Amino acid sequence: MQFTAAQIALLLNGTIEGNADAAVTSFGKIEEAQDGQLTFLANPKYEEYLYTTQASIAIVQEGYELRQPVTPTLIRVADAYSAFAQLLRQYQEMVSQQLKGIQQPSFIAPSARIGEDVFVGAFTYIGNNVKIGANSKVYPNCFIGDNVTIGENCILHPGVKVYHDCVLSNFVVIHAGTVVGGDGFGFAPQADGSFKKVPQIGNVIIEDHVEVGANTTIDRATMGSTIIREGAKLDNLIQIAHNVEIGKSTVIAAQAGVSGSTKIGNHVLIGGQAGLVGHIQIADGSKINAQSGVSKSLKEPYSSVTGSPASDYTSALRSQAVFRNLPNLEKRIAELEKIIKQLMAEKVG
C-alpha cells in the first residue's frame, strides 16, 4: 500500500513542508529509515537523526524549528507521537480487515453464533452457545469455552484461552498465551491440615477497549465477576486474582500481581513487579512504583507510593537519601562521642 504526503497530512490534519507527492509504503525508525518509508520525531534525544535520515516523509511537532536542511518531506502536527500512533493503528486495521472466514481444521459448535466478517484461525475450538461479534479475529489455536460472549472488533491472538461463561465486550485485544477465566485460587483449610477446593462459579467480564498482554492470567470470580473496566491496559505476565475489579483506563506493567477481591480505581498506574494483597482498595489516580508491595488500602486519590511495604513516595525517597548517608553519619557520631569524652575528662580533671 502506498500513500502520499498529501493523503497523510489530510488524515492527520497536518501541514506539509516539502513535496506533497512524496510517497511511502512502510514505516521506519528515524535513525534507520530509508527512502520510501515514513518516520517521526517526538523525543528530542533523536533530533540529530532528522538531519541524516533517508526517510521520504517525517512527522514532527508544529513548533519544531529546523537547525539545518532536511531530506524528508515534513508533516507538522500538534502531537507527533499520537499522530504516528494513529497511522500505525489504521495500517494495522487495514491489514487485519483482509482476514475473514474460517480456516480448517477447526471446531465450531452448531449452537455457536458467528458474526459477519469474523476470522477463525486453524485449530481453534469454539464451544456451545458462543457468540462472536462482527469483524472479530480469533487467531489459530485459541480455545473459546461454552457460553462465552465476544463482542465486535475483538482480536484474540494465537493460543488465547477463554473459559466458559466469560464476557468480552467490543474492541478487546488479548495477546498470545493469555488465559481468561481460569479458576481463582480458592482452597478451604481443613482440620487435618489439608485443603479442599472451593468451586469457582463466577466469570470474567472485560469491557470495551481493554488490551491484555501475552501470558497474562485473569481468574474467574468465586461468585459474581472479576471485572476489567473500559480502557484498562494490562501488560504481559500479570496475575489478576478472583473477584478483582480494575477501573477505567488503569495501566498495569509486567509481572505485577493483584490478589483476590482487591478493587482498583480509575486511571491508576501500577509499575512492573508490584504486588497488591487481597481485599484492599486503591483510590483513583494512584501511582504505585515498580516492585512495591501494597499491604493496605490507598484511600487518598492521586497519591504515589513506593517500596515494600509501600509508603508515601516523597517520604520514601527522603528515607533512601538518609540511608545512603548512614556510613557518614556513623562516622560523625563516633567523632562527636570522642569529643564529648574528651570534654568530660577535662571537666573531671
Give the active site residue among 157, 164, 242, 267: 242
Backbone angles phi, psi at 77, to 5 degrees: -135, 170
* Beta partners for residue 40, in sequence order: 59
- Catalytic residue at 279? no
Q: Which residues contact 227 (CB under 8 A, 6 or more apart)?
A: 204, 205, 206, 207, 244, 245, 246
Q: From residue 257, how far is each of 235, 237, 252, 272 by CA, in Å?
A: 11, 9, 9, 9
DSSP letters, 188-220, are EE-TTS-EEEPP---EEEE-TT-EE-TT-EEEP
DSSP annotation of 183 reads P
Contact, 36 vs 54, CB < 8 A? no
Which amino acid would we find at residue 270? I
Q: Give CA–CA dist 239/233, Å, rounded.
A: 13
User: Helices 5-12 & 80-96, crossing angle to 10 degrees?
Assistant: 110
Distance of alpha carbon 282 from alpha carbon 302, whole angstroms: 10
SS3 222: coil
Cell, residue 267: 486511571
* Of 158, 170, 172, 260, nearest in space to 214 by CA: 158
57 burial via Cβ count (<10 Å: 0-12, 13-18, 19+): buried
Name the residues annotated as catalytic. 242
